[in-house]
Amino acid sequence: MARYREKDETDLVWNRIRRRITRELDIEIANRREEALNILLSTAWEDYVKAIATGELREIETRYSAMAAQIVADLVPKALGEVADD
């Protein structure tokens, strides 16, 4: 059974710092995600409607899947590297 360890002031300060960074990052990610999705989903819908007419649904699905993967690959390491360089 785990035993509770009393935290000292340095532990409590670190937890506040960690919690603030986590919350602020989550908020910023949510804001940017909404902005990106607003553009991407509108464009994807237009492409989807065109793809229905031309029979290219698979191609459009593959293109947007690859785009999403590339966005994440481009952004996450860059953001982490900038923090590490400071």
- The CA distances from residue 38 to 21, 30, 86, in Å, are 26, 12, 32
Q: Is residue 4 part of a domain?
A: no
Number of domains in the chain: 1
Reported as a single tens digit per residue, the pLDDT across 26-85 is 999 999 999 999 999 999 999 999 999 998 888 888 999 999 888 888 877 676 666 655
**Which sign does the torsion angle of CA 8, 13, 82, 69 carry?**
positive
Q: Is residue 2 part of a domain?
A: no
What is the domain range of residue 25?
Answer: 9-85
Q: CA–CA separation, 69 vs 74, rounded Å?
A: 9
Q: What is the pTM of this model?
A: 0.65
The label of the residue with tokens 């710092």 reads 17
